[in-house]
Amino acid sequence: MIRRFVLKRLLTGALQMLGLTLAVFFLVRMLPADPVSRLVGLNASPEAYKQAQRSLGLDEPVMTQLLNYLGIGSDSGLLQGDLDVSWVTNAPVLAEIGASLPITLELLTYSFAVTLLFAVPVGVASAANPGKAVDKFVFFYGLFGGSQPEFWWGLLFVLIFFANLGIAPAPLGMISPLLQAPPRVTGFYTLDALIAGDFRAFFDILHHLMLPVLTMVFVLSGPVIKMVRQSMIRAQASDFVLYANAAGLRRKTVTRYAMRAAIAPTITLVGILYGVMLGGAVLVESVFSLGGIGQYAVRSVLAFDYPSIQGIVLVITAISLLIYLLLDILYAIIDPRVVYT
Amino acid sequence: MSLLDTSPAGAAPLPRKERRTASALLIFAIIFAGGSLILACFGEMIVPFDPVDSAFIPNMPPPPLRDWPGLLWVAITSTSPEPIHWFGTDSSGFDVFSRVLCAPRIDLTIALAANFLAMLIGIPFGLVAGYFTNPATEFMMRVSDVIQSFPVFISAMILVALGGQSAINVIMALSLLYAPIYVRLTRSEAMAQKSRGMVEASRAIGQSELRIALQHVLPNSIGPSLVQSSVTIGFAILLTAGLSFVGAGVRPPDPEWGLMISTGANDIVLGQWWTSVFPGVAISLTVFSFAVIGDALQRRYDR
């Protein structure tokens, strides 16, 4: 049953990806941007313009361009797992995404881990003490944290912790320019440093991740705390908690039961936020010059680099769809009341 | 996948004390959001300096806090020969105070217009898709799904940067990306209304389907969208500012909060905090106000 469910989801996911590919492909070509003149400059001679247009393949009819991109009738394309080469750097888009995506994933994973460590206890405490100070704080923060310009808070943290207190490094990347980056194995900086056994680099990377993670946690905690609180209140009002209380179980045990029921919606929210933040971490990445996929997206969009833009949107959407699928499977494991159809 | 209802709708009712804090907060939010709306209309008339005209003293810090009462007195009695740079000046010599107060003209106009357009597109589509179920409306929903599966910020960046960086294009991009929210909300509400007695009754007295949809289903399906709009306006402000922060939104020297923070970002490392801190406080409080109002509406109308 679960295998059929997964297969069905993967199939609809593939169809959705195809629709998305077509949508992005035609969208970038419909918008009135001129990538050729962005590349050769406005003062280029008509011949140079023509030549650049030919080398980018933009002189062909749109349908031919599409077939080439998809890899139908040509030897390399999307269907063969090739995302074309960037118009700006001439490097394969897949390789560029492979270099930048792990940085974003690393930032997000640490941020969500810290967010959960902070949000779950606070949310549970708030649900257990309705109307008390902690509950008021949660009500306020749930609204506040979720509606803040994260890039500005990032800058504010830089101002406080770097410019004034001097306890954070300059917001200029993942590692101090004086240190050598660990040899690339996984693409995740902290993991690579551990694999290389370079603890100096490892702690320096953590030091550099301190403020970006703080910024992310600051904005992400709002909705997560709110969700933990709501789910806890809901679970505490449910029949099985009433029964557990009536049966005279200890308070700790009952809280554990309630938490188990409350954790499922929280995990769903975290998963969805993770998917959203893949493309939404752009601003924090820019503030701290981390070089993740968001910054790669900014660079590609501003340079009208169509193959990179298409590749980024595809990869981000594919990962979010996979996360949603994993969530649904995980949900069934946590909550036995879930039924697949 | 379907859930055996593990999620009853709506939050638990607030305890009494919390309700009081909520309403104090709500009053603040309404005053602040209202104030920013007034500034959007009249900001340019009341500011002491032209927001895009250099005062020729770049990077001037704001006057120290202890001088403010005296300066305020001078400003009120207008015995000062020169207007005061309350928030200092930025690296181009623009007056930060005037720019912060003029920015709602751009930020709020974009956010309100984008939200209004998104409702204008989304609600009719949602109504039709909810009231009439046929292959055409099914297809519409799939299109809406595809739009919703786009990564929002990156798509907005693509639409604005490739479409031409202007306020109009930011509005168009945001309304396209936010329309599916209203399609979904209206559709699910319209589907619920469809089976109500009044619809059957109108049909029995021979009203046309279109008339039933417009006269009876639409007014009853629009509520959740109106409640949602305050939250969407807040997010639209954040997105507008974010776009210009990465250089894919409105262009300098327009007074816009995100743009001001972006130009101020370089000064921060040098300790010149005022160019980015003041516009940031403005966005922070404005969006927070819209979130508080949205939350209050949700509590009031979602039962």
The tokens describing A19, both together, are: 């629709």
Residue B3 corresponds to which amino acid? L
pLDDT of residue B8: 38
Assess whether pLDDT exceeds 90 at residue A292: yes
CB–CB contact A286 B246 (8 Å): yes
Q: Could you give the CA distance from residue B278 to residue B260 in angstroms, rounded to a whole number?
A: 9
Cα–Cα dist A183/A193, whole Å: 8
Residue B13 has pLDDT above 70, yes or no: no
pLDDT tops 90 at residue A217: yes
Q: With beta carbons under 8 A apart, name residues in chain A contacting B163.
A: 31-33
Instruction: Check residue A198 and report its DSSP letter.
Output: -
Residue B269 in tokens: 């490392």
Q: Do B150 and A328 touch (CB under 8 A)?
A: no
How many C-beta atoms lie closer than 10 Å to residue B185's C-beta? Answer: 23
Q: Which 3 state secondary structure label does DSSP give A270?
A: helix
Q: Does residue B79 register a pLDDT over 70?
A: no
Compare all CA atoms of chain B with the CA of A297 and give the residue at the minimum distance.
B154
Note whether B116 contacts A: Cβ–Cβ < 8 A: no
Instruction: Give the nearest partner residue to A317 out of B149, B246, B291, using CB atoms.
Output: B149
- Kindly determine whether residue A149 and residue B152, on different chains, have CB atoms separated by under 8 Å: no
Which chain B residue lies closest to A23 (C-alpha atoms)? Answer: B146
Judged by CB atoms closer than 8 Å, whether chains meet at B153 and A313 is answered as no
Q: Mean pLDDT, to the nearest integer, of B289-300?
A: 90
Least confident range from A241-245, B29-33, B70-74, B171-175: namely B70-74
Interface test with B, best of A1, A30, A108, A151 (most B CBs within 10 A): A151
Q: Per-residue pLDDT averaged across A273-302, rounded? A: 92
Looking at the complex, report in whole angstroms how far the Cα of residue A95 sits from the nearest Cα belonging to chain B: 20
Question: Is the CB of B280 less than 8 angstroms away from the CB of A156?
Answer: yes
| Residue A120 phi, psi dihedral angles, 5° rounding | -65, -50
Write out chain B residues lying below 8 Å of A286, CB-based.
245-246
pLDDT for B10: 41
Chain A residue closest to B278 (CA)? A152
CB-CB neighbors (< 8 A) of B273 in chain A? 159, 163
State the Cα–Cα distance between residues A207 and A273, nearest whole angstrom.
25
CB of B259 closer than 8 Å to CB of B248 = no
Nearest CA in chain B to A168: B269
How far apart CA A291 and CA A303 sit, in angstroms, is 16
How many angstroms away from the CA of B40 is the closest CA of chain A?
20
CA A183 to chain B, closest CA, distance in angstroms equals 30
Q: Chain A contact for B133, CB < 8 A?
A: no
Cis peptide before B253 (omega within 30 of 0): yes
Whether B3 has a pLDDT exceeding 50, the answer reads no
In terms of residues, how long is chain A?
341
Separation in Å, CA of B170 to nearest CA in chain A: 13
Distance to chain B for A163, nearest Cα, Å:
6
Residue pLDDT, tens place only, B248-270: 999 988 899 999 999 888 888 77
Contact B12, A230 (CB under 8 A): yes
Q: Give the nearest chain B residue to A293 (CA atoms).
A: B154
Contact between residue A298 and residue B157 where contact means Cβ atoms under 8 Å apart:
yes
Q: Tell me, yes or no, if the pTM score tops 0.80.
A: yes
The separation between CA B220 and the C-alpha centre of its own chain, rounded to angstroms, equals 25
Residue of A nearest to B296 (CA): A143
What pLDDT sits at residue B168? 95
Q: A99 to chain B, minimum CA–CA distance in Å?
A: 18
Nearest CA in chain B to A157: B268
B21 in reach of chain A (CB within 8 A) = yes
B111 contacts on A by Cβ (under 8 Å): none
Predicted confidence band of residue B5 (pLDDT cuts 50, 70, 90): very low
Task: Determine, for residues A279 and B247 on separate chains, whether the beta-carbon distance falls below 8 Å.
Answer: no
Q: Mean pLDDT, to the nearest integer, of B47-73?
A: 79
In the structure, what pLDDT confidence band is assigned to residue A19 with cuts at 50, 70 and 90? confident
| Residue A237 pLDDT | 87
- Per-residue model confidence (pLDDT) at position B7: 37
ipTM of model: 0.90
Flag whether residue B12 sits within 8 Å of chain A, measured between CB atoms: yes
| Ranges of H-type helices in chain B | 16-46, 68-77, 96-102, 104-131, 135-149, 152-163, 167-194, 197-204, 209-212, 218-221, 223-245, 257-268, 274-301
Q: Which of B12, B151, B280 sits opposite A149 (nearest CB)?
A: B280
Interface subset of B 135-194, CB within 8 angstroms of A = 142, 145-146, 149-155, 157-159, 161-164
Rounded CA separation B259/A202 (Å) = 35
Query: Contact A298/B247, CB-based, under 8 Å?
Result: yes
Mean pLDDT of A154-172: 91
**Interface check B9 vs A, CB under 8 A:** no
The tens digit of pLDDT for each residue in A47-93 reads: 888 988 888 888 888 888 898 888 887 778 888 888 889 998 999 99
Nearest-by-Cβ selection for A282 from B153, B163, B288: B153
Q: How far is A171 from chain B (nearest CA, A)?
A: 9
Structure tokens at A23: 């949508």
